[in-house]
Structure 1
Amino acid sequence: MSSRDVILGRVRRALADVRDDEPPYERAVRREYQREHGARTAEENVTLLAENLADYRALVHRCTEGELAAKIAELLAERGARTVVVPMGLDAGWLAESAAEQVPDRAEDTPYDLDQVDSVVTGCAVAVAETGTLVLDGGPDQGRRRITLVPDHHICVVRVPEQVVSSVPHALERLDPVRPSTWISGPSATSDIELDRVEGVHGPRTLEVVLVNGRDEPDVLA
């Protein structure tokens, strides 16, 4: 008997007492919980996201669409980044002004290969204001999960206000449950029993978030 047979056998035994007419999961589980805390405008959600990201020690920047390439180039230069990982579907214009060597996201790259790269630039799937969380789902402008876990410096671009939602339930409604998702709240960090915080343990030590206003005019929230 294979491991697969053993696992499937256990599943069948666990489901043996489930009636054929039992309500499906999506109807059996009541979802009357609070979906968000207070009513906020789209602009207020963006402000709350920025505040919570900063509270988690992410570095938050704001710019317009027309300023984005210059802002990314500036952040990479300040970091001294010589190389940057680029997802296959990232807008080429985002890195048009950067002098860093662009390293494509390739399936054959090992963690060791990625550890030699200075930075990574990605988009995101959605951002959650109440928790200060960025969600990546492996979309074309985000690439494979590992490219945002190994390099020490991650620049994540969030389009505001369209990619910002107020709460986790609203974020889940936008995500495809079959896609791999990475939820990021600030740079990677952990604390020991004495609450000494150490950053960069299981992901980037530095997270920079660029909130991009789609209009080529100054961000009223800046």
Structure 2
Amino acid sequence: MSAASGDVGGDASRERILGRIRRALADVPRYERPRDHPVVRDYLRAHGERTPAESVDLLAENLADYRAVVHRTDTAGLPPLLGRLLASRGARRVVVPTGLPGGWLAGARVDLVTDSVALTPRELDGADSVVTGCALAIAETGTVVLDSGPDQGRRRISLVPDHHLCVVRIADQIVDSVPQALERLAPGRPLTWISGPSATSDIELDRVEGVHGPRTLEVILVDGDPRSM
């Protein structure tokens, strides 16, 4: 199929979708707004009650169930742990967001590649690892959420390199459930929801990792506040 015919097909599909939306909204008065019909949110906000320590344990369990590798440390132990994890993979070129605290990788024997608009996909693909923070983590689903904050960078740096090290603060970044997460996340920000390393299955249900993101996800749960490092 030529590019031109592909564009025509895309336009036709878009018009079909928009046409269905218009027909569905045909009987809605022009003055009506979404706030005129509040959505009833009477579902459970969390499945059971937990202590903070139990939420951390559940998060670690569900992350591991999704084949993420989980580590725990305190603030002082974060830099040496990151250094050991990168060294164990033989990582040399490591991508970092512009706002990643400099002390996190103090002493790590790597070449740091700071995210920028000039960083090409080829350069990203040639990186060994990426180190980021996160917006929050969800215990019940084993999910880490990034929102492109200063210590997370643009979405692509957590999708292209083959190895992602993600730091989660235990004290203030772990919530129990998706409803609790949505209350804290800004809907206008680019959100990336990560539950384990990238994986997909073909029609034979053969699992393949690393197709849409890193093959290896390592999550570091930090007791303390490493932001000032």
- Say yes or no: does 1:108 pair with 2:118: yes
TM-score, structure 2 as length reference: 0.86
In the TM superposition, 1:1-222 aligns within 5 A as 15=25, 17-19=27-29, 22=32, 24-25=34-35, 27-214=37-224
Identity of aligned residues (%): 67
Q: Name the amino acid aligned to 1:74.
A: R
| Residue 220 of structure 1: aligned partner | none
CA distance in structure 2 between the partners assigned to 1:204 and 1:152 by the alignment: 4
Aligned length: 213
CA distance in structure 2 between the partners assigned to 1:81 and 1:109 by the alignment: 18
Pair 1:26–1:142, CA change in 2 (3 A): farther
Gaps of 5+ in 2: 1-16
CA distance in structure 1 between the partners assigned to 2:30 and 2:224 by the alignment: 50
TM-score, structure 1 as length reference: 0.88
Gaps of 5+ in 1: 1-6, 217-222
Q: C-alpha deviations, 1:2-54, integer Å up to 9, x for none?
A: xxxxx999977765532366463485211111111100111111100000000
Q: Name the amino acid aligned to 1:89.
A: G
CA distance in structure 2 between the partners assigned to 1:164 and 1:113 by the alignment: 33
